[in-house]
Structure 1
Amino acid sequence: MVWYLYYTVGTWISGFWLRVFGCLLLILLIKLSQLKSNNYKRCSNTNCLCCGKSNSVRDKFKAEIKSYSEIPNSFKNWVNEDYTLPLQNGQHPMVFYLPGVRTQPLIDSLHYEDDMQILKDNYNGIKGEYEKLIGDLSCWKTNSTPQGEWSLFYLVNQGKEIAINCEQCPVTTSVLRSMGSIMGGCGFGNACFSIVKPGTMITEHCGPCNVRTRCHFGLNIPDGFELLINDESYYWSERECLFFDDSFPHSVISSDHKVHGSNTSVGSSDYRAVFMVDFWHHNLSSSEISLIKKLFPAQ
């Protein structure tokens, strides 16, 4: 009888603590998931639209837009709708999410066929200007990465042309000004040369909004570089455009055989180089674009 009571009580206590442990483990996993979803890479530039100050601008505009007599339904939904990031499809726009914009991680190039042809027709001129710039990286902006090096040379940064840089790239600047879908007049719009050296890892991060399409136009694409978007692998090609919605989590990884090879030096021919351009998302209306430009003007 004593043994039976000891066994019964012991079993109940063991089961109780097992349930407690299970609940604590579940809470911990939920917290870790929330931490990951809110810990995508942000830059430290206080003027960047991905920083926290944009929240006050957004809240101010939400209050103002309620007084407008006519606004698109998507903005009415934005003003009134509460949502939790990341979204069920994986999107995590860091600053601005406009409901109802139909999208997917990889965007069909047919939506930007005319602008894509302009880039292809000017491949030699764009790459020629890139090759002149690559000899001196002191004018390039280097982003923080856990390993390797990722550098950018901006012609347009947060919607504004960088005059001194544009003067060095007259062909590429002319190309930008001739494209109809480019994200002009808005702080979400950028255009730059982007290089990634072998052995570089760019951690998973998300763009600030779901209203743009990012284009990577391949200039120099050696083997060993991979773009991950929403856990799917994609690859660049020279003279080709890759369009994607960067509000989905994305990262870049590359092999490091060039870095650790004892008799091999790394040169510019080993860099992954693309010309990066932001376009307005193809599913936006002209009235939506006008309001977005008012909310987030060029910085």
Structure 2
Amino acid sequence: MTPEIENAFAAIRAEFGAESITRVERMLEPGGGGDRHPLQKAAKWIMPGLSTTPWHDPYAYDEIAPVVHALEAAHQAIKEELNVAWAARREAFSDYEHYLTRQENWQALYLFREGGLVAESATTVPTAYQLLRDVAVDTEKICPLLECHFSTLLAGAAIDPHCDLWNFSINLHLAVDIPDGCSITVAGETRSWDEGRCLLFDYSFEHEARNEGTRPRTCLLIDLWHPETTIPERRALVALIAEIRRLMGDD
């Protein structure tokens, strides 16, 4: 570890206790994270001690349930604003740039990125922007290392099987506009989106998606902290990943 990471970790241990970030430190050891599920092997970091369940009940966690209920209650307004933006402000969307690839047939409208809200989206999709700020950003439930965006998969497009970087955040989908013929597979189990409802899954497991319909499929994706992580662990993870990105020249 660099001196910057060591100093950050020491400060967290001093505030929260010597054992407060043990799981984060174990993750950084050779072979850290312990045994992995075969469909997690492509993830870069696996923090030990978190549930090894690919699919999660979005209503089961006290931390996440208020986000789910707020998004689902506002679904119709979110969908209407999204459709207006897609028709009249297409320039607000861009090719989605995953850390592994970039796809022209996978479009994104960002609400939160690079550690902060995307101010331009406040006028483009105001309901989603305000809700995100109120229930996920101001409450620090969003993982600031990642993002929130409308994910629009064009007709006929597919997202190839892949693992995301780690297991200490979790991916929430609000199904905004879902034509027939759309599905998502996580760790070998395929599900469909139910428009107006949320799905929650651990994207350190291999997953893929497809739109075999005749019009675009849009979900609102939010990267939340895994609800089984603690406040000191979250602080340590932000310090760790921010320093790694700095060293790699990503900032």
TM-score range, shorter chain: 0.7 to 0.9
DSSP-derived class of the 1:149 partner: strand
Alignment partners' CA distance in 2, 1:61 and 1:132:
49
Question: Partner letter of residue 154 of structure 1?
Answer: Y
1:154 deviates by: 0.4
Considering fraction of residues, name the structure with more helix.
1
Tell me what 2:120 maps to. Answer: 164
Please tell me whether residue 242 in structure 1 is matched to residue 174 in structure 2: no
Alignment partners' CA distance in 1, 2:114 and 2:166:
13
User: Which runs of 5 or more structure 1 residues have no equivalent in the other structure?
Assistant: 1-58, 259-269
Paired residue for 1:231, among 188, 191, 194? 188
Would you say the 8 A contact 1:90–1:249 is kept in 2?
yes
1:125 deviates by: 2.1
1:222 deviates by: 1.0
1:137 deviates by: 2.5
Moved over 6 A (4+): 144-148
Question: Partner letter of residue 205 of structure 1?
Answer: H
Tell me what 1:280 maps to. Answer: 225
User: Which runs of 5 or more structure 2 residues have no equivalent in the other structure?
Assistant: 246-250
Would you say the 8 A contact 1:74–1:99 is kept in 2?
yes
DSSP-derived class of the 1:193 partner: strand
Considering fraction of residues, name the structure with more strand.
2
Alignment partners' CA distance in 2, 1:280 and 1:124:
26
Identity of aligned residues (%): 22
* TM-score, normalised via structure 1 length: 0.67
Paired residue for 2:48, among 64, 85, 99? 99
Question: Partner letter of residue 218 of structure 1?
Answer: A
* TM-score, normalised via structure 2 length: 0.79
Q: CA RMSD in A?
A: 2.9
Tell me what 2:145 maps to. Answer: 187
1:230 deviates by: 1.3
Q: 1:202 to 1:176 in 2, by over 3 A?
A: same
DSSP-derived class of the 1:202 partner: strand
Would you say the 8 A contact 1:148–1:198 is kept in 2?
no
Counterpart mapping for 1:87-236 below 5 A:
87-92=36-41, 94-109=43-58, 110-111=60-61, 112-135=64-87, 136-143=89-96, 149-179=105-135, 180=139, 182-184=141-143, 186-188=144-146, 190-236=147-193
Task: Deviation per CA, 1:120-176: give whole Å up to 9, x if none.
Answer: 121122112211211143321213789981111001123321112233222211101
Q: Which has the larger radius of gyration?
A: 1
Question: Partner letter of residue 195 of structure 1?
Answer: T
Question: Partner letter of residue 60 of structure 1?
Answer: T
DSSP-derived class of the 2:83 partner: helix
Structure with higher RCO (Cα < 8 A, 6+ apart): 2
Q: 1:289 to 1:61 in 2, by over 3 A?
A: farther
Task: Deviation per CA, 1:232-263: give whole Å up to 9, x if none.
Answer: 1111011100001111111112326x4xxxxx
Question: Partner letter of residue 149 of structure 1?
Answer: N
